[in-house]
């Protein structure tokens, strides 16, 4: 590790930045407004979810359980990380004086990884659940219980937390990042930093890729059934189309927000010569790029709840009234087919 003073922990790298520069970059009003908008959006989504939960067990109840876990994850991520970042922007405290043992930095690093990976893993889990429900309806229970869905959400959270704890246990390091207001994984050339950076980037990228693949197959299957010659009873219900629309929106938002950061991390840790000097310094351009990509990624926590709010059947029918007409005509077909013919 780099030299940072005998009394300081391993999370401090040399970073030449003045207090005036920090004031220009770290706006407390922007950070506070960003967090408040995100928290309000997720609270609104939770209230809508609470009012739309179906009674009994159905594929939709399982899907809404996963969606509730995603919204809770985004809400908690904004609340916890926002509290640290906003307080730092307001006070502009010296991280070395406040946290010489790196306990706060390690905590923030863990929750940054946890709340970053959890939505991506949950998105892949939701895509897998819908893929099985649409393409293999008889290979799974007809109605997965919400309790089983919550167990799956808990397992996803446990996996993301286990990954976030790896640097604390010795694989890689969490360090204070430019402009000394947050902590994240280190883009260094040490084997542990490279391994953890690649693990984070690859796991996140694979989650997005798996979601894309499974959602594509699910949508193709729905389109085939919807436009095919099958009996009207086999046509997809409104809820199936609604769930896939919401899942596609979540996937698109995650791809746009997270893929730039994941690709940047992988490229930086694999760069030759290394992006980080032996003394622990990164080029200012690299530090600014990391900050920009991180800010783009945090928009995922604000946009996720709006995907659910806007992609509901009631909203989609207002935007496209033909969907409602088509749905009513499809629902009448089974009734017409059962009417006795007169001779």
Walk along the chain (343 residues) and give the pLDDT tens digit of each residue.
665 554 667 888 888 787 777 777 877 888 899 999 999 999 999 998 887 765 555 557 788 899 999 999 999 999 999 999 998 888 888 888 889 899 999 999 999 999 999 999 999 999 998 888 888 765 555 446 778 889 999 999 999 999 999 999 999 999 999 988 899 999 999 999 999 999 999 999 999 999 999 999 988 888 877 666 454 444 446 677 788 888 999 999 999 999 999 999 999 999 988 989 888 889 989 999 999 999 999 999 999 999 888 877 666 566 655 555 454 444 444 444 444 544 4
Cα dist from 248 to 141, 159, 233, 253, whole Å:
24, 24, 25, 9
What pLDDT, on the 0 to 100 scale, is given for residue 92? 84
Residue 237: both structure tokens together: 């219900």
Q: Among 3, 142, 159, 169, which Cα is nearest to 59's?
A: 142
Q: Among 254, 244, 237, which Cα is nearest to 215's?
A: 244
Q: Which CATH architecture has domain 20-137+146-318?
A: Up-down Bundle (1.20)
Domain ranges of the chain: 20-137+146-318
Cis check: omega of the bond before 179, within 30 degrees of 0: yes
What residue ranges in the chain does DSSP mark as E strands?
A: 174-177, 182-185
Q: Report the chain's terminal Cα–Cα distance, integer Å.
A: 91
Longest dimension (CA), the chain: 99
Return the exposure string of 184-201: e unless at least 16 CB atoms fall within 10 Å of the residue's CB, then b. Answer: bbbbbbeeebbebbebbb
Residue 61: both structure tokens together: 């109840």
The Cα–Cα gap between 259 and 10 comes to 29
What pLDDT, on the 0 to 100 scale, is given for residue 238? 65
What pLDDT, on the 0 to 100 scale, is given for residue 320? 58
What pLDDT, on the 0 to 100 scale, is given for residue 231? 41
């Amino acid at each position: 590790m780099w030299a940072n003073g005998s009394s300081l922990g391993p999370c401090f790298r040399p970073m030449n930045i003045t207090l005036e520069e920090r004031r220009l970059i770290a706006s407390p009003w922007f950070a506070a407004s960003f967090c408040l908008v995100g928290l309000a959006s997720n609270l609104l989504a939770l209230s809508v979810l609470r009012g739309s939960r179906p009674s009994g067990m159905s594929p939709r109840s399982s899907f809404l359980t996963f969606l509730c876990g995603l919204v809770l994850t985004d809400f908690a991520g904004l609340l916890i990380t926002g509290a640290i970042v906003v307080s730092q922007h307001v006070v502009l405290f010296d991280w070395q004086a406040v946290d010489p043992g790196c306990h706060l930095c390690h905590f923030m690093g863990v929750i940054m990884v946890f709340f970053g990976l959890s939505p991506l893993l949950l998105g892949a889990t939701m895509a897998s659940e819908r893929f099985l429900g649409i393409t293999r309806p008889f290979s799974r229970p007809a109605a997965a219980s919400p309790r089983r869905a919550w167990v799956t959400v808990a397992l996803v959270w446990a996996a993301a937390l286990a990954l976030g704890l790896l640097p604390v246990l010795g694989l890689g390091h969490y360090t204070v990042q430019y402009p000394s207001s947050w902590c994240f994984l280190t883009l260094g050339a040490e084997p542990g930093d490279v391994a953890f950076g690649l693990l984070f980037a690859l796991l996140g990228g694979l989650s997005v890729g798996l979601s894309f693949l499974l959602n594509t197959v699910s949508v193709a299957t729905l389109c085939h059934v919807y436009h095919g010659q099958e009996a009207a009873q086999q046509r997809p219900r409104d809820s199936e189309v609604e769930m896939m629309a919401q899942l596609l929106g979540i996937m698109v938002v995650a791809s746009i927000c997270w893929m730039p950061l994941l690709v940047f991390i992988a490229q930086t840790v694999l760069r030759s010569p290394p992006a980080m000097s032996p003394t622990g310094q990164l080029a200012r351009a690299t530090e600014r790029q990391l900050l920009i990509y991180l800010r783009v990624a945090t928009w995922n926590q604000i946009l996720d709840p709006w995907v659910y709010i806007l992609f509901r059947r009631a909203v989609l029918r207002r935007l496209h009234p033909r969907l409602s007409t088509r749905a009513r005509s499809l629902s009448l077909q089974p009734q017409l087919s059962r009417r006795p013919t007169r001779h």
